[in-house]
Every structure is written in C-alpha cells, then in structure tokens.
A and B are shown apart, each in its own frame.
Chain A
C-alpha cells in the first residue's frame, strides 16, 4: 500500500497508456466477446432481463389503460387486413409453387430460401447517447453467432456484432457505424443504407450513392440487395421519405424511414442459418444469395437488376 501511495502518479500514467493501447488494438470487429465480456454478460444479463421486463410490463399496463379505445379500432382494422392478406397469401403460395416448379425445370436454386429464425428479447440499450446498440438475451446457448441478421417481422433491424454465452450485441441499421447494401424494389437502383447521427434520434437513416439518373421516389420500398456477405437479398429495410440530389450533382441520397419502429422494439428474430450459408460461400466471392450451382447466372441476374 505504501508502494502504491508513493508511485500513484506513475501507476496512473502507466494505466492510461495501457488502456489507450488496448483501445487502439481492440477497435474494429471483435468476433465473440472475450472472457471479460462473457463474465460481465453472465452477471448483468439476468439483472437487465429483470429490469427491462418490469419496466416493459409497467409501460404496457399504462399504455393499455390509455389506448384501449384505439386498440379496439385497430383490432378491427387489422382483422380486415388479415382477411385480405390471407387471400393474397393463398394466391402467392400458388405462385410460389409455380415458381418452384419452373425453377426446378431451369435448374436454379431458390433465390429467397425460407430462413430459420430464433426469437429473442431486447434486454438493454446502449447507456450512452451517441450510438444505437442494444443487447438481446440469446447467445451461443441459442446458436446466435456474430454477423447474423436481426429482424422484426416488418423488416431488418441490424446485425449481431458480438455474441457471448447468454447475450449478444446488436448494431442497428440506424447506427452510424452500420452500412447495408440496398436496392429499390421498384426501380432496382442500388445504394448503401447507412446510419446517420443527425437522423438517428428521429428513427431515420440515409441511403447513399444512388445514381443521379435513377427514378427513385418517395414511398419506394428499399430492400437489401444481397451484394453483401451478411445480409441476404430481399429483406425489407424501409421506405423512401425524401430524395435529395447531392451537391456534386452526380449522386442522390434518400432519407429512409425504416419499416421497423425502432423506438419500440421488445422482441426480435435472428436469422439463424446465416452461418451455415456463409460457410458454404467462403471460397467464392459471389453474392450470398446464390448457390454455387448457379455461379454463371448470378452476375447476369445482378446486372439485370441494375438496368
């Protein structure tokens, strides 16, 4: 203790240098959480689980008291919508059957395979104000691994940046460190959906690098393009709210309203067959949506989307 008191300043300085070096070398992607993160996860996750379930229960009780009337109306509307959708679903399933039959004739693999999902609850949000990161209560115990895609039924939420034994860290698409290769469903224009600090608090993000000639417009649905290693093609990201031409006049950017309500996420789905799919794709640099079998047809397919 005497030693510590006399060399307090030196120890303090050494610690500063050590921490700065540690921060410098651990910046960027960390696969799984280390032993430290796992230990902290084991202690904090149950607590956060408890605390968030209590707060959400209280919040729900309050909102159910205040919105009962709205809920009844909404329920009726939704019922009507369900009936419509069921009918449409029925029709689409016929198309799917036909599609399967035709593509088997053409010997093509399914472009949009059905993904297996794992459900998880959001237990905590980043305590700071700069980033949009949250924790979910599934980790290695439920086969949730780094780089898996996290979704809500409406659309993409983000991806797993770090997984521990019983918790995982999710980077939402609103965070400025996130970028997702995206495509306009109607026109096929490609772009990159990135988080933006100035839009994050309003629950919006930006789609950048859109060609100036593109005919993208307000209301267009934006989906993942499948050009990335992580996100499979065709998942809904959001809808265009506003299109702006960049100051250089060569590209446009669009303000995107995500399909998911980021202020009220309580449970998420993790697409769980990502890892298997990626392992099969590691050697080839093809878009992950296409199997090895249609290697020759994949680039053409993408080119077709561009035009």
Chain B
C-alpha cells in the first residue's frame, strides 16, 4: 500500500515538473522524457509486473491531461515497462550502465512508435528529420537524465523495501 502511494506521488510530481520546470531547460526544443525513465527504472528495480503497472499509470496520467486519446500513452508505457522488466533478472542494481543503455534504446523505440502511429498517419513521412531533430537529441538527453532519475528512484525503492522487510519480520511472514 505504502509502495503504491509513494509511486503515485512520484509520478504526479514528475508530471508536474516535466510539464513546467523541464520545459525551461529544453535543449534544441527537446525535453527529456522523465516519465519514460521512471518507468524503465522501476521495471529494472522491481520486474515486469510493477514496471507495467507504473507504465500504465504514468501513461494514463499523461493521456487524461494532455493526450488526444485516452489509453494511447498508457498502452505505450505499459508495454515499455513490461519489456524493460525482462532485464530485471541478473542485473546488478548498483550499476548505472544498464539504466543508461536501456534509456538510450527504449527512447528510440518509444518515440519511433509515436512517430509510426501518430505522425505517419497524419501524412508526414519525413522520418529522417524527426530522427535527427527530435529522437536522437531526446535519446542523448534521456540517457543523461537516467543517471539522476535512477539514483533517486533507487533510494526511494530501497527505503520502501527496507520498510517492507521490517514489517515482514514483525509479522513473521517468510
């Protein structure tokens, strides 16, 4: 329960920051997608199920406030969380390399999906333009931001896990 509430607060705060503060530090008009990084980080730390849940909720928030269709970003977020969760096994948590590489690749796939579904069908075929002006800068930006976001979430997650462990010991579960 505490885990749900914490993640809820993290996602709400992220949306508020991403749509206000981060707009001011946009490079080449590109804003880092911290929501995606949070989804990836949680998936790496906790596995597919929780990754999918975080992705679903983060996407839904963006959908209801900014999106044209409800469920679009939710679907994208959920699938990215689920797939990223596959790397949860056999991954050394203190290592920052994995979140960075994953952010790099996932951003490419995520934004390419947006292009394929939303932009291509509105009649714009100029993929090379978007690749160089939007997707590549965002990949770089997200990779840099993933260090910071992962570091924060790592601490948040450790704090929650510590608490859960204490509770389990208290009630003698496992």
**Residues of A participating in the B interface, judged by any CB pair closer than 8 Å:** 8, 12, 15-16, 18-24, 26-28, 30, 33-34, 36-37, 40-41, 43-44, 47-48, 50-52, 55, 59, 123-131, 133, 135, 161, 167, 169, 176-177, 197-198, 201
B49 cross-chain contacts in A, Cβ below 8 A: 8
Closest CB-CB distance, A59 to chain B, in whole Å? 6
Q: How far is the CA of A15 from the CA of B49 in the complex (A)?
A: 12
Q: Which residue of B lies closest to A25 (CB)?
A: B69
B17 cross-chain contacts in A, Cβ below 8 A: 51
A20 cross-chain contacts in B, Cβ below 8 A: 71, 75
Q: Which residue of B lies closest to A8 (CB)?
A: B49
Q: Return the 8 tightest CB-CB contacts between A and B, nearest first.
A: A124-B19, A22-B71, A201-B29, A23-B71, A19-B75, A47-B16, A19-B71, A37-B64
Query: Given contacts A23-B69, A123-B20, are A15 and B78 in contact (CB under 8 A)?
Result: yes
Q: How far is the CA of A19 from the CA of B67 in the complex (A)?
A: 14
Picked from A12, A23, A123, A130, the residue with its CB within 8 Å of the CB of B52 is A12
A16 cross-chain contacts in B, Cβ below 8 A: 75, 78-79
A59→B24 contact, CB < 8 A: yes
Picked from A19, A123, A169, A176, the residue with its CB within 8 Å of the CB of B66 is A169
Picked from B69, B82, B114, B115, the residue with its CB within 8 Å of the CB of A26 is B69
Query: Given contacts A19-B75, A124-B16, A201-B133, are A40 and B61 in contact (CB under 8 A)?
Result: yes
A127→B78 contact, CB < 8 A: no
10 more CB-based (< 8 A) A-B contacts, given A40-B64, A48-B16, A130-B114: A18-B71, A23-B69, A26-B71, A40-B61, A44-B65, A50-B16, A123-B20, A126-B19, A169-B65, A201-B28
Closest CB-CB distance, B8 to chain A, in whole Å? 9
Q: How far is the CA of A16 from the CA of B83 in the complex (A)?
A: 13
Interface of A, helix, strand, loop or mixed by DSSP: helix
B133 cross-chain contacts in A, Cβ below 8 A: 198, 201
Q: How far is the CA of A129 from the CA of B33 in the complex (A)?
A: 9
B71→A47 contact, CB < 8 A: no
**Which of A20, A24, A129: most chain B Cβ within 10 A?**
A129
B79 cross-chain contacts in A, Cβ below 8 A: 16
Q: How far is the CA of A81 from the CA of B122 in the complex (A)?
A: 44
A129→B72 contact, CB < 8 A: no
Q: Interface range on chain B: under 10, 10 to 19, 20 to 34, or 35 or more?
A: 35 or more
Q: Which residue of B lies closest to A52 (CB)?
A: B20
Q: How far is the CA of A18 from the CA of B130 in the complex (A)?
A: 30
Q: How far is the CA of A27 from the CA of B77 in the complex (A)?
A: 18
Q: How far is the CA of A200 from the CA of B13 in the complex (A)?
A: 27
Q: Which residue of B lies closest to A203 (CB)?
A: B29
B131 cross-chain contacts in A, Cβ below 8 A: none
- Contact string against A for B residues 97-122, beta-carbon threshold 8 Å, 1 for contact and 0 otherwise: 00000000000000100110011001
Picked from A21, A130, A135, A169, the residue with its CB within 8 Å of the CB of B119 is A130
A19→B134 contact, CB < 8 A: no
Query: Given contacts A19-B71, A44-B16, are A125 and B23 in contact (CB under 8 A)?
Result: yes
Q: B15 contacts the other chain (Cβ, under 8 Å)?
A: yes
17 interchain pairs, CB-CB under 8 A: A15-B52, A23-B72, A28-B69, A36-B70, A47-B13, A51-B17, A52-B20, A59-B24, A124-B19, A124-B65, A127-B15, A127-B31, A129-B29, A169-B66, A176-B119, A197-B119, A198-B129
Query: Given contacts A40-B65, A128-B33, are A51 and B71 in contact (CB under 8 A)?
Result: no
- Contact string against A for B residues 31-60, beta-carbon threshold 8 Å, 1 for contact and 0 otherwise: 101010000000000001100100010001
Q: B140 contacts the other chain (Cβ, under 8 Å)?
A: no
**Which of A16, A48, A201: most chain B Cβ within 10 A?**
A48
